[in-house]
Structure 1
Amino acid sequence: MPQHVWTTVIRPARAAPTGRVVVLAHSGAGPNALLPMVRWLPDDIEAVGVTLPGRERRFAEDAERTLDDPEGTVAAVAGELRTRSAVPAVLFGHSMGAAFAVALALTAPDLCRALVLSAHPDGGSRAELAGQWDEDDLMAILERGGGTPPEVLADEYLRAHLLTVLRCDLTLGYRLATRHAHRTLPVPLTVLGGRDDALTETAELTRWSRRAGAGLRERVFPGGHFYLLDEANQKAVADETAGALRLVTSG
């Protein structure tokens, strides 16, 4: 069996798998952060999470290693995904994870039937495009985004670690988003967002239309940057994701 470093099954299919959702999380987080939504996926869809260094099971690894070769990082994830069973897959990227998902879809189109891009505009978010961030900037991003447990921010070690990972991820998102900013996407897009997102305005999400060569669906939910984790939205977001996969496999 191949060793999987970058990817892991975070929600096995409960029946014979007919499809896969590859989950790419927001800056500073790993895919398990999105489990409240992922758990609502249909029984025959497997969820595979991409874990970058510096978080979850890779907490002790240096997050900055992704910045040495961003394209190599994307290629490493693609290589692992190719070792998994061949079932139709959709990439789900939230915030910075959307920039990674787009880069992955362009690097390895054989691995992706559709893209679901959440809370992230084409070309990069305003936070990413700043290009550099001191501690106050990073804390302001966390405050506007919400969702960070206060006990993490109160712990000096955990806060410092989180800010380091956040800075690395914002840099990675910036480099990937700007590097691929003008390439048309060959798969259908589903673009989702929160109506009250303080980091990405819903009007910014419409910019994906200029790159949607294979169709575009948009939906805005009540809530902020982490609208998809609100209990009222979790199943609907999972349904949109599963629907994106069903749409490209039903024919």
Structure 2
Amino acid sequence: MSQTTPAPGTDPWLPFPPPAAAPAPEPGNGRRARARLLCFPCAGQGASAYRTWQRLLAADVEVVPVQLPGREGRATEAAHTTMEGLMAELLPVLVELAAEAEAGYALFGHSLGALVAYEAARRLEAAGRVPLGLTVAAQRPPHLPLEREPVHDLPRAAFMTTLGLYGQVPVELFDDPAAVALAAAALRADFTLVETYAPADGPRLRCPVTALAGLADTSLPPRAMRAWQDLTEGPFTFRPVPGDHFFVGERTDELVAVLRAALG
């Protein structure tokens, strides 16, 4: 028999409880069920990246940021370098979150988080928990080859410099040598996972997929994001967004509107 997942805030995977929904206007003043959105951050970032979304979407969507090991409150834990190792720990948590979502659930992932969200969606569908949708941002679909040389095994200085050239780390990070040293190990683990991930053979997704591409993202041509349509039998939407690789943190109002329309 499955056990109920600990409430967000008491589980290291779920550090930020979603705000409560406003009471419904119907007699009885109950609360209406909200769709649940599981959010996965980009390389080097943590679950706090989605705190603003929790506030802005509280009336319509229950935003649940997922905290991966090796960042923020889990900084002392080793970050995973393989998708299989990550899923072995994370999937049971996600299965329970999906099962408990009264109005259904969806997944959102940015960069590294897009691959994590995709693999999670595959495994959740295989477990009989088909999501309302998957939204991926700023990441090539995993069936396409890298359009650059791998970087995860470069020496630290070359590794960080190369990430900066590709626009995959904020430029302000390089102003703080201590921050560079702290970030390098976690980023290397994240990029090892990204660059070595190869999905096992299996059916295409059944859920709708939305792919968001930053028009100024120098690390990923927008055409690559269109190839996410190859991975689903459901509806596919491609949406270009102004901004670079980090547009998810810069175009908050626009992305919140997209998610609200899809899930609200």
DSSP 3-state at the match of 1:47 = strand
Partner amino acid for 1:206?
R
**Between structures 1 and 2, the one with greater helix share:** 1
Aligned to 1:9: 16
Please state how far the C-alpha of 1:29 moved relative to its aligned partner: 0.8
Aligned to 2:163: 141
Structure 2 Cα separation of the partners of residues 4 and 213 of structure 1: 34
Structure 2 Cα separation of the partners of residues 5 and 212 of structure 1: 31
Q: Structure 2 residue aligned with 1:174, among 177, 182, 195? A: 195
Larger Rg: 2
Residue correspondences, number: 242
Structure 1 Cα separation of the partners of residues 99 and 174 of structure 2: 38
Please state how far the C-alpha of 1:130 moved relative to its aligned partner: 1.6
Aligned to 1:21: 37
Identity across aligned pairs (percent)?
A: 25
Aligned to 1:249: none
Please say if 1:99 is aligned against 2:115.
yes
List alignment gaps of at least 5 residues for structure 2: 23-30
Q: Structure 2 residue aligned with 1:158, among 148, 172, 179? A: 179
Higher relative contact order (CA 8 A, sep 6+): 1
The range that moved more, 27-36 or 110-119, is: 27-36
Instruction: String of CA shifts for 1:183-223, please: whole Å, max 9, x gaps.
Output: 41110011111101011110111111212211101110111
Partner amino acid for 1:119?
A
Q: 1:137 to 1:221 in 2, by over 3 A?
A: same
Structure 2 Cα separation of the partners of residues 185 and 68 of structure 1: 18
Q: Structure 1 residue aligned with 2:140, among 121, 127, 139? A: 121
Contact 1:24–1:100, Cα closer than 8 Å, also in 2? yes
Structure 1 Cα separation of the partners of residues 221 and 134 of structure 2: 20
Aligned to 1:237: 255
DSSP 3-state at the match of 2:38 = strand
User: Given the two structures, how large is their TM-score scaled by the length of structure 2?
Assistant: 0.79
Q: 1:175 to 1:185 in 2, by over 3 A?
A: farther
Please state how far the C-alpha of 1:54 moved relative to its aligned partner: 1.3
Q: 1:144 to 1:19 in 2, by over 3 A?
A: same
Structure 2 Cα separation of the partners of residues 199 and 127 of structure 1: 9
The range that moved more, 111-120 or 154-163, is: 154-163
Structure 2 Cα separation of the partners of residues 68 and 209 of structure 1: 24
Q: 1:197 to 1:158 in 2, by over 3 A?
A: same
User: Given the two structures, how large is their TM-score scaled by the length of structure 1?
Assistant: 0.83
List alignment gaps of at least 5 residues for structure 1: 247-251
DSSP 3-state at the match of 2:91 = helix
Please say if 1:60 is aligned against 2:76.
yes
